[in-house]
Amino acid sequence: MLQELVLEIFSEEIPAKYQKDALKDSKILMNKILLQYGAGFDKIESYISTRRVALHVTGLLPKTLDVKTLKRGPKLSAPNFAIDGFLKANNKTNNDLLENDGYFYLNVLTEGTNIKEILQEIIEQFIAEFPWKKTMHWYVEEIDELSGFWIRPIRSILCIYNDEPIKIFIKSVGIHTSNITYGHRFLSKNPIEVNSFEDYEKKLEEAYVMIDYMKKVGYIDIEIAKMAAEKGISVEKDENLLYEVAGLVDFPFIYVGTIEEKFMRLPKEVLSTSMKVHQKYFTLTYPNGVIAPFYGTVTNIPGTKTMFDGLDRVLRARLSDAAFFFKEDTEISLDAFAQRLSSVIFHEKLGTIGQKVDRMLSIAETKEENRAISLCKADLVTQMVSEFPELQGIMGAIYAEYQEEDLLVANAIMEHYKPNGASDNMPLSNIAARIAFFDKLDTIVGFIGIGIYPTGSKDPFALRRCGFSVIRLICDSEFNVLNGEKFSYFVKAICNAYSEQGIAIENDAAKNIISFVNDRFKSYVEDKLAIGYQFIDTIVESSDDEEEFDYKEAMEKAKKLEEFSKHKDFEIAQNAYKRAIGFIPETIPKNTGEMVFESEYLTKLHNFIEKNQNTDFEEMIEISKLVLDACDNVFILDKNKSIRDSNILVLNNYVRLIKKTVGGMVYTKLNPQRN
């Protein structure tokens, strides 16, 4: 016997954007629930379509697993009747008794439960715990109350175990399970009775429902590519659109339509975005990348001439709007649009976009930077970007080229939003990279400066992503966005720019901003270099001066520290560093140039450090051994001030040497910032 469970939750339409995650989440959740109940099974597969979430569990044993437990009974001093009652209740004899910690115990075997008896609880838990991002509940007449929560109202639940329909009542949604499902909303009229997963999948496909989501994605991808190839063109890859349209249809029917020639004069980005955003159409291109006068689309029912004419007509209306917006926008200069930014709010406490541009201009250095910054946000008030926010930056670059701006300036306008996350491409010019850095840092300074931080999973202003992008621009970019300055210089400059505009920034804002970006830096290095968090944490927290902190140098030190940590005698250096830093006070004695030592240990340590300012791992171990010898054999905090100061200065020089070489030393707690 196959020992399979088939479960389907059939509902109203599931939004396409949630289906891909639901495919994964349903499998994970069912696996967790079955393990909680002690069910034995081989494999779980999940399926999803526009109106259903389905699961196929193979090798599901008829009973949950037996469980052996040690059951505690009466105390050893308990009367005989209590002990006899304990034995009788568990069907055991005196020979089965175990003694421990003053109590009697029994090994008790709890037999597994018939899987059919707990299916109702499993389904209830599955519905209750499903991690939809948004849910709803609805009135259920059968129970005369509101249902449990689901993405959309549930209409039926199919449940089959070993070819047998399981008929149970799911109270949370007021539905009796059965072996009935339903096909395509328009192409299949009658209920479908099934008795196995093979039967379920076969009959649904006959009823125009492709339940295998990834199979449907692949089918759409291949079929559109085939139809495009017949015309000598290809499909522009767009994975997000591919998954979205797969979630909009139960069974995909492919059609390639025509774009009227008069619209082909529009920029490619305008055509593609207009088709994608409003119509979910695929862009088709010639081999040289030029957009072709065709589009690809997926429908949920077979096409007719009337339908195809309608698709073309709707697209024509959309592109007519786009052509009108483009014409209107190009009749106004970007400088004129830029002047309107003074009326566009950036944030109620942080002024306007126009003020943001002015702050960025205050730290620009070249004529080209100034020009690109002054125009970089201008397209936000164009009609095209108002209709298609996805085109911000892109339209600015297109309009800049149209107005014959310098190509570097135009490209900087388009690229200053990059990188938008960990995997996004970097800006391709120094100007673009610098403006991207200014823009993102201004956002971080503003929000943290007024006390708005990300909390938990909530980050409505994407400050973590901004911080990560700032670090990428400093460390990943082939261009030097800092241009010889320290990061703290730009933080303070932007803080001052806010203040000069009359926007109140907290007194300790600069310190908090640097700390926030440093945290993003730690995550960045851990991800990029795949090294332990404790290494980069040590480098950052051991920095002598956060204002002079060099991120690229810190990355190299983190790599070197991790490498050093694998040395067979690394623990010697750890212990020496920890002991040395414990003697160093908050205020370091002044170095008068004369060192007074009463101990050969400290004299030897001093001389070794003086001769080894560029030390390797072996020399660091040797120096660390000298430190341990000194700490074990010398009273470091001598009563004589000159001797005490000299001892402390030598240990401080050792700590500085370690920091210079590998940035610090990992031990149980982060190194205190003392010197």
The full 3-state SS of 189-247, as one line of letters, equals: CCCEECCCHHHHHHHHHHCCCCCCHHHHHHHHHHHHHHHHHCCCCEECCCHHHHHHHHH
Q: How far apart are CA 598 and CA 344, in angstroms?
A: 71
68 or 64, which is more confident? 64
Classify residue 139 by its DSSP letter. Answer: E
What pLDDT shows up at residue 606? 86
Classify residue 451 by its DSSP letter. Answer: T
Q: Once rounded to an integer, what is the mean pLDDT over residues 142-163?
A: 95
Give residue-wise pLDDT tens across range 600-651: 888 888 888 888 777 788 888 998 999 998 888 888 888 888 888 888 898 9
The radius of gyration of the chain from alpha carbons, rounded to an integer in Å, stands at 35
Q: Once rounded to an integer, what is the mean pLDDT over residues 363-376?
A: 96
Is residue 505 within 8 A of residue 450, CB to CB? The reply is yes
Residue 497 confidence class, pLDDT cut points 50, 70, 90: very high
Give residue-wise pLDDT tens across range 423-475: 889 999 999 999 999 999 999 999 999 999 998 878 999 999 999 999 999 99
- Cβ neighbours of residue 369 closer than 8 Å, sequence gap 6 or more: 431, 434, 435
What pLDDT shows up at residue 673? 41
Over the chain, what is the mean pLDDT? 92
Give residue-wise pLDDT tens across range 201-211: 999 999 999 99
Is residue 284 within 8 A of residue 252, CB to CB? The reply is no
Residue 675 confidence class, pLDDT cut points 50, 70, 90: very low
Is residue 414 within 8 A of residue 267, CB to CB? The reply is no
Whole-prediction pTM: 0.79
Give residue-wise pLDDT tens across range 258-294: 999 999 999 999 999 999 998 999 999 999 999 999 9
Q: How far apart are CA 342 and CA 476, in angstroms?
A: 33
CA 488 to chain CA centroid, Å, is 27
- Cβ neighbours of residue 342 closer than 8 Å, sequence gap 6 or more: 352, 353, 354, 355
Q: How far apart are CA 403 and CA 330, in angstroms?
A: 8
Give residue-wise pLDDT tens across range 94-117: 888 998 889 998 888 778 899 999
What pLDDT shows up at residue 674? 37
Dihedrals phi, psi of 458, to nearest 5 degrees? -90, 125
What pLDDT shows up at residue 663? 79
What pLDDT shows up at residue 2? 65
What pLDDT shows up at residue 628? 92
Is residue 203 within 8 A of residue 214, CB to CB? The reply is no
Reply yes or no on whether the pLDDT at 1 is more than 60: no
Q: Which residues pair with 110 in a beta bridge?
A: 67
Give residue-wise pLDDT tens across range 538-572: 888 877 676 778 898 888 888 888 888 888 999 99
Is residue 569 within 8 A of residue 621, CB to CB? The reply is yes
What pLDDT shows up at residue 671? 43
Reply yes or no on whether the pLDDT at 415 is more than 50: yes
Give residue-wise pLDDT tens across range 322-348: 999 999 999 999 999 999 999 999 999
Is residue 137 within 8 A of residue 11, CB to CB? The reply is no
